[in-house]
Structure 1
Amino acid sequence: MTMHTAADSAAASASQNSQLQQLRFCFYGAGSMAEAVARGMTERKLCPPEGIGMFNRSGGPRLAELRSRYGLTTAETPEDKSRMLAEADVIILSMKPKDAEEAIRSVSSILREGQLIVSMIAGLSIRTIQALIGKRLPVVRTMPNTSCSIGLGATGISFSPDVSVEQRMIGEQLFRSVGLTVTVEENLLEAVTGVSGSGPAYLYYIMESMIKAGVELGLDSALSRELTVQTMLGAAEMMRVTGEEPAELRRQVTSPGGTTQAAIALMEEHEVGLHFRSGMKRSAERAADIGRELERSVLGDQHES
């Protein structure tokens, strides 16, 4: 497994940046994740805004908003969408999983040799994507998370065997522009989903409980929120800066018979850690379930053989 951070993109060679500048990108799907990556690309000047195209099923105000905000090229009509897809060097699949099968089949005849497919669709395997396209195009499969929208994302990346060294660089650069990337074998992307893909929601859930507890203890809700946010930020930064294991950092603030010890003991009694890990594993299992359902739908009897 290899790991890179957003800072690594600053060290990319001039020749690599020059190559990206010359490419045309097309996002099929205009949701928050597509916006996050497109914003990272423009802010880090990986690609001029006019080199980034985007469209979705419904069009309208959403595309107008993105066009105004980032200077992207958008497509509304079927003809413009087809042209944008045909002219793109890199196509980023960013539609919802439930729409993926129909959407990819509908444009498969437009896709051509030499194009790179980048997927941000949860659960959709490389094998299934290539079956839907009907051509063995190179595929970069990714599992980003919502923190990409503020440049602090965590993205797992896997590559089909068809992906060249230059295409790997393109896939990595796209997601380094919005945070940390880790390259893993495809069968580990479900684990990435369980840890970082769904991870922000777990932390929001904990923060929700912390804020409510603060209010129940008598704090004003705004003050409880502020203290919770800063505590979460400080704890994450402490772990990053010191390099210490979380168990050691916890030990340092847990005095025997003290306040923290009382809280941790109660949580241990209720097996909070065990349930938390079980929830994360369920997230990974659900990602695998979704993938199998999509694969059965697309490949049918081939899946069983």
Structure 2
Amino acid sequence: MLANKTIAFVGAGSMAEAIIAGLIAKEIVAPEQIIATNYQNAERLRSLKDTYGIQVSSDKQEIMLKADIVVLAMKPKQVDEGIDALKQYSSEKQLFISVLAGISTAYLSELLGHRAPVIRTMPNTSAKVGESATGMSAGEFATEADIALATALFEAVGTVTVVPEEKLDAVTGIAGSGPAYIYYLVEAMEQAAQQIGLEEQEGKELIIQTLLGAVKRLSSTSKSAQQLYKEVMSPGGTTEAGLKVLSELHFQEAMISCIKRATERSKELGEELSKVK
């Protein structure tokens, strides 16, 4: 489905790199099928070219004339300026895929000024290792074929969950930002490991395998997370003692607030741009 498609990335940050790396690692597309540009960081483009063998260019006209699929991966605050620089070279035959938090398909269609299909997605940086959890919604002018094409692209770097667009801010709060929450937790576990006498590498290996095991357990059972952690606990035991501290420090409440705030911020990003415009 993607064999003869040229994919242009407008924006070359961590999300764009994660998707590029995943596509190439799984051999879904050849490096020469990918072309990337960004606002002004030529050194960043050279790094991507050297690392992945992709095409890079600062010439927006060149990129748009080559592209079958345009992945909008600039910073959300740069979307107006970014699309303004390329829309004169764009076509309704191109598929536009956004990975921008908070930016609606309707807003992107308005910026483009024509009826090109727009798909809004929220992947995460685990795309780099083929394990993204991507939420996806179709804009007004996107067909089933467009959705299938976008799905094929993102299934190459993980799973795809198609949801109504009004739910994508929630997807951002849970999955888009989710890896960072896990890394933040792991950082605390690593610090604790050293404080209780483990060497840095010893602690890291134990933590990673513990996470892998827990994820595999969650994915292979119908039991809830609560049922699983209660299975580990025994009265007066170590797990009960540790979880009591987390409860006293309102760990779950903090996580819920964290995810809700990230979701709210995704909504705010779109609202802020609409007000500016």
Please state which band the TM-score falls in when normalised by the shorter chain. Answer: over 0.9
Q: Does 1:28 align with 2:7?
A: no
Q: Does 1:283 align with 2:262?
A: yes
TM-score (normalised: structure 2): 0.94
Q: Is the 8 A contact 1:26 1:54 kept in 2?
A: yes
C-alpha displacement at 1:85, in angstroms? 0.6
C-alpha displacement at 1:250, in angstroms? 0.6
From 148, 164, 172, the equivalent of 2:151 is: 172
Q: Describe the SS at the equivalent of 2:12.
A: coil
Number of equivalent positions: 277
- Change in CA separation of 1:271 and 1:68 when aligned onto 2, cut-off 3 Å: closer
Q: Is the 8 A contact 2:10 2:36 kept in 1?
A: yes
Q: Is the 8 A contact 1:32 1:149 kept in 2?
A: no
Q: What is the percentage of aligned positions where both structures have the same residue?
A: 38
Where do 5+ consecutive residues of structure 2 fail to align?
none
Q: Does 1:50 align with 2:41?
A: no
Q: Does 1:126 align with 2:105?
A: yes
C-alpha displacement at 1:64, in angstroms? 2.5
What is aligned with 1:303?
A: none
What is aligned with 1:39?
A: 21
Distance in 2 (CA, whole Å) between partners of 1:227 and 1:48 is: 37
What is aligned with 2:253?
A: 274
What is aligned with 1:297?
A: 276
Distance in 1 (CA, whole Å) between partners of 2:34 and 2:13 is: 15
Distance in 2 (CA, whole Å) between partners of 1:270 and 1:180 is: 34
What is aligned with 1:71?
A: 53
Q: Is the 8 A contact 1:124 1:295 kept in 2?
A: no
What is aligned with 1:148?
A: 127
CA RMSD, Structure 1 to Structure 2 (Å): 1.6
C-alpha displacement at 1:144, in angstroms? 0.9
C-alpha displacement at 1:119, in angstroms? 0.5
User: Deviations 1:18-62 (Å, cap 9, x if unpaired)?
Assistant: xx2122221111222212222332333333332221111225332
Q: Is the 8 A contact 1:91 1:117 kept in 2?
A: yes
Q: Is the 8 A contact 2:106 2:140 kept in 1?
A: no
Distance in 2 (CA, whole Å) between partners of 1:223 and 1:46 is: 36
Q: Does 1:237 align with 2:216?
A: yes
What is aligned with 1:4?
A: none
Distance in 1 (CA, whole Å) between partners of 2:10 and 2:267 is: 23
Aligned ranges for residues 250-269 of structure 1 at < 5 Å?
A: 250-269=229-248
Q: Describe the SS at the equivalent of 1:37.
A: helix
Q: Is the 8 A contact 1:125 1:295 kept in 2?
A: no
Distance in 1 (CA, whole Å) between partners of 2:99 and 2:168 is: 12
